[in-house]
Amino acid sequence: MSSSLAPLQGNRACALGALAAGCRFFAGYPITPSSEIAEAMSRELPRVDGVFIQMEDEMGSLAAVIGASFGGAKAMTATSGPGFSLMQENLGYAAMTETPCVVVNVMRGGPSTGMPTRPAQGDFMQARWGTHGDHPIIVVAPASVQEIYTETIRAFNLAEEFRTPAIVLYDEIVAHLIESVELPDRRTIATTNRKWAAGTERGFAPYAETDDLVPPMARPGEGLRAHVTGLTHTADGFPTQKPELVARALQRILDKIERHRDRIEKSETLGTADAEVVIVAVGIVARAARRAVQQLRAEGIKAGLLRPITLWPFPEGATRAAAERARRVLVPEMNAGQLALEVERLAGARGKVARLNRIDGEPITPAQIAAKVRELVADE
């Protein structure tokens, strides 16, 4: 049961991670820069008795994934910005019906058709708030090919454990990197399966309030009836608009994520314990920031890096702790300023957070980050 080292492209690593997690259904529509995921799944799923369907569009893709999940399969789709926009209504339906599924969004330049082959990070807020209403969501944001593999597995595990959609969010550059990846024997990979309901139909409630706030699902074919609707509903699954019942039901699906932050949140720090300037970055920009931190430290400037790996729920505790110790915080990102909004909310002091943004389809370089940090240090 040994592991192997293999050169992999990021998108192919995503497909292999999904298969290792137990994904056996993929429905999708080709879209740059995520198409290699669908290509890989079309080849690999039949080999493990899985099902691949190319759908007519992204709306149908996520609808098919939701249906397959309720049919008992671990299911996934993959897309990019325009397709992710089309999926938002069904994403809300999955959240309301508590349907485990994984959606991969490989970010590209936008809005609209934008720049299909250029990188961007403009979907941070859409991943959290894209569908209407208050809803739970989990978003992981890998920054390397190895991490795409492991975080795709973790996304499936979190989706199954908490009965919720989980999004794997990364940019075009990471998607198309080719790096050496450690692939463990699949028999050694820890995977999570959803709780299945047991017993008779008498008294069964498909959305029951359990101790962990995650109700068990009815396994198809075992005689338990589940009424499924996107309308606000009670524990029996049937619609209601009674304020007290609506509030209770919606609060439960929000709390099942909030109360289990310790099982969901994940972040990485580098040199934040004594940093005068902390850089908060995600994806390929975090890799540039890591290099900038190394350069700055060599110059005697105490810089550090906080990298959210779970983007939503946002790692609030880690961000507060890192910002508290630092004199300034820098948020470089390939958008007009989205991640910075969360950091500013948590930094604790007005004007403490500086921004470095790029929206031209080019990545932010280590040199640009280092230059901005030097500027901040000189202004103190």
- Tell me the pLDDT tens digit for each residue of 348-367: 877 899 999 999 999 999 99
251 band by pLDDT with thresholds 50, 70 and 90:
very high
| pLDDT score recorded for residue 135 | 97
- Contacts of residue 68, Cβ cutoff 8 Å, sequence gap at least 6: 25, 27, 51, 75
Structure tokens at 127: 């991943």
pLDDT digits (tens, 9 = 90+) for 97-129: 999 999 999 999 999 999 999 999 999 999 999
> In the chain, what are the domain boundaries?
4-188, 268-379
Structure tokens at 226: 């589940």
Q: What pairs with residue 76 in β-bridges? A: 26, 102
| pLDDT score recorded for residue 2 | 67
Strand (E) or helix (H) holding 319 = helix 316-325
Distance CA 280, CA 264 (A): 19
Domains 4-188 and 268-379 share a fold: yes
pLDDT digits (tens, 9 = 90+) for 74-105: 999 999 999 999 999 999 999 999 999 999 99
In the predicted model, is pLDDT for residue 7 greater than 70?
yes
Please choose, from the candidates 20, 29, 26, the residue with its C-alpha nearest in 3D space to the C-alpha of residue 41.
26
Please choose, from the candidates 272, 270, 301, the residue with its C-alpha nearest in 3D space to the C-alpha of residue 287.
270
In the predicted model, is pLDDT for residue 198 greater than 90?
no
Percent of the chain with pLDDT over 90: 92
* Fold annotation for 4-188: Rossmann fold (3.40.50)
Domain 268-379 has CATH 3.40.50.920: yes
| pLDDT score recorded for residue 128 | 98
Max Cα-Cα span within the chain: 71
Mean pLDDT on 312-321:
97
Q: Cis peptide before 30, with omega less than 30 degrees from 0? A: no
Structure tokens at 358: 């790029």
CB 170 within 8 A of CB 283: yes
Mean pLDDT on 48-60:
98
Mean pLDDT on 48-70:
98
Mean pLDDT on 156-173:
98
CA 80, distance to chain mean position in Å, is 13
In the predicted model, is pLDDT for residue 200 greater than 80?
no
Strand (E) or helix (H) holding 241 = none
Q: What pairs with residue 51 in β-bridges? A: 25
Cβ count near 303 (within 10 Å): 29
CB 196 within 8 A of CB 161: no
| pLDDT score recorded for residue 378 | 93
In the predicted model, is pLDDT for residue 330 greater than 70?
yes
Q: What pairs with residue 233 in β-bridges? A: 239
Mean pLDDT on 20-39:
98
Structure tokens at 10: 């990021």
- Contacts of residue 220, Cβ cutoff 8 Å, sequence gap at least 6: 70, 71, 72
Categorise residue 164: left if φ over 0, alpha if ψ from -120 to 50, beta otherwise: beta
pLDDT digits (tens, 9 = 90+) for 214-248: 999 998 888 898 899 999 999 999 999 999 999 99
| pLDDT score recorded for residue 223 | 87
